[in-house]
């Protein structure tokens, strides 16, 4: 029986191992299944919930855009979002500037460089709950900090029961826990800058501030944009550390948007309303992500 010419041609051009192109898909299959099960499916279900009134026990009742309309008139939601924005406005530049400064210091030929890098990176390996409980132990009314102040003859401060100091405590704990991670990213970005630029600047007699402003900062733009966007997204998703440290108090002074959504969904059993809030937060974070991709592309040019 004669073999068709097209089949012979296909057999001739086929490379060794080409029939096994399905094997790479097996490697990504476990992650794909986990991502679909725990991310995609809950996200779709949450989106469906957002158009219903649902308490988790009784049958769902379709309300259309009723939940979204109610959110726009919910002052507590916008207050929590405003507190989150203010928290991000302080935390993001603080983490970026401090992590860049530490990275620039630790790429220099100094003694015990590895030890200092480990010290700064170590907090990133601790879970947010442990970080929050650790700083609660430090800033509590009977904590380490107040004990030291008492030894020095000073009046103790109510770090976690005063609105201002509670927010300051949250910001300090956040910076301490995340600085090391972004320090590593900045170190990678700094070490990727060709040394020829610095040599040329040194021969021209440029000062260190001028070298930093005209060489380091422009060439570090993609890394800086990445760090800014990642810290911004993290700030809007912050919850475990804050909950372990202050529990959202005093009152609701450190109740940020994710904790407010959690309380709406599970404490008040308004799953439909909480899902609609989650969709709004998802849209907000998606906008940050899209902005990051756009700015990063511009920086690489």
pLDDT digits (tens, 9 = 90+) for 223-253: 999 899 899 999 998 899 989 999 888 888 8
Q: Closest Cα partner for 173 from 220, 148, 140, 216?
A: 140
**Rounded distance between C-alpha atoms, residue 17 and residue 278, angstroms:** 46
Maximum distance among all Cα pairs of the chain, rounded to whole angstroms: 103
Q: CA quadruple 61, 65, 66, 68: dihedral positive or negative?
A: positive
The predicted pLDDT at position 121 comes to 93
Q: HEC states along 203-252?
A: HCCCCHHHHHHHHHHHHCHHHHHHHHHHHHHHHHCCCHHHHHHCCCCCCC
The predicted pLDDT at position 141 comes to 84
Would you say 276 and 67 are in contact if contact means Cβ atoms under 8 Å apart?
A: yes
Which run of H or of E encompasses 271?
helix 271-300
The predicted pLDDT at position 17 comes to 54
Would you say 106 and 190 are in contact if contact means Cβ atoms under 8 Å apart?
A: no
Each residue's pLDDT expressed in tens, for the chain with a length of 301 residues: 444 555 545 455 555 555 567 788 888 899 999 999 999 999 999 999 999 999 888 888 999 999 999 999 999 999 999 999 999 999 999 999 999 999 999 998 888 888 999 999 999 999 999 999 999 999 988 889 889 989 988 888 888 888 899 999 999 999 999 999 999 999 999 999 998 898 898 888 888 889 999 999 999 988 999 899 899 999 998 899 989 999 888 888 899 999 999 999 988 989 999 999 999 999 998 998 888 778 776 544 4
Task: Specify the residue for token string 């170190």.
Answer: 187
**Rounded distance between C-alpha atoms, residue 32 and residue 93, angstroms:** 35
Whole-structure pTM value: 0.84
The predicted pLDDT at position 55 comes to 86
pLDDT digits (tens, 9 = 90+) for 86-141: 999 999 999 999 999 999 999 988 888 889 999 999 999 999 999 999 999 999 88
Which run of H or of E encompasses 84?
helix 75-106
Residues sharing a CB contact under 8 Å with residue 126, sequence separation 6 or more, in sequence order: 134, 177
**Rounded distance between C-alpha atoms, residue 128 and residue 112, angstroms:** 28
The predicted pLDDT at position 5 comes to 52
The predicted pLDDT at position 182 comes to 95
Domains of the chain: 76-298 (1.10.3720.10)
Structure tokens at 172: 């300090």
């Amino acid at each position: 029986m004669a073999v068709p010419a097209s089949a012979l041609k296909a057999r001739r051009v086929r490379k060794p191992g080409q029939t096994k192109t399905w094997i790479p898909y097996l490697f990504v299959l476990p992650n794909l299944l986990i991502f679909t099960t725990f991310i995609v499916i809950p996200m779709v279900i949450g989106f469906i919930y957002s158009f219903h009134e649902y308490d988790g026990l009784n049958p769902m009742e379709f309300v259309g855009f009723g939940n979204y309309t109610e959110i726009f008139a919910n002052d507590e939601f916008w207050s929590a979002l405003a507190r989150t924005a203010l928290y991000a406005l302080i935390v993001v530049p603080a983490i970026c500037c401090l992590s860049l400064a530490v990275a620039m210091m630790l790429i220099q030929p100094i003694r015990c460089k590895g030890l200092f890098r480990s010290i700064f990176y170590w907090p990133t390996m601790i879970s947010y709950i442990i970080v929050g409980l650790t700083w609660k132990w430090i800033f509590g009314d009977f904590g380490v900090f107040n004990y030291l102040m008492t030894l020095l003859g000073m009046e103790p401060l109510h770090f976690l029961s005063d609105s201002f100091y509670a927010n300051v405590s949250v910001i300090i704990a956040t910076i301490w826990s995340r600085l090391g991670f972004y320090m590593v990213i900045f170190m990678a970005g700094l070490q990727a800058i060709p040394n020829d630029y610095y040599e040329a600047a040194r021969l021209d007699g440029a000062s260190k501030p001028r070298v930093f402003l005209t060489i380091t900062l422009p060439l570090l733009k993609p890394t800086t944009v990445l760090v800014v966007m990642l810290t911004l997204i993290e700030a809007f998703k912050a919850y475990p550390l804050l909950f372990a440290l202050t529990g959202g108090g005093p009152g609701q002074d450190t109740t940020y948007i994710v904790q407010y959504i959690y309380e709406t969904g599970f404490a008040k059993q308004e799953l439909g309303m909480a899902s609609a809030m989650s969709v709004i937060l998802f849209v907000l974070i998606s906008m940050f992500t899209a902005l990051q991709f756009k700015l990063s592309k511009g920086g690489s040019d």
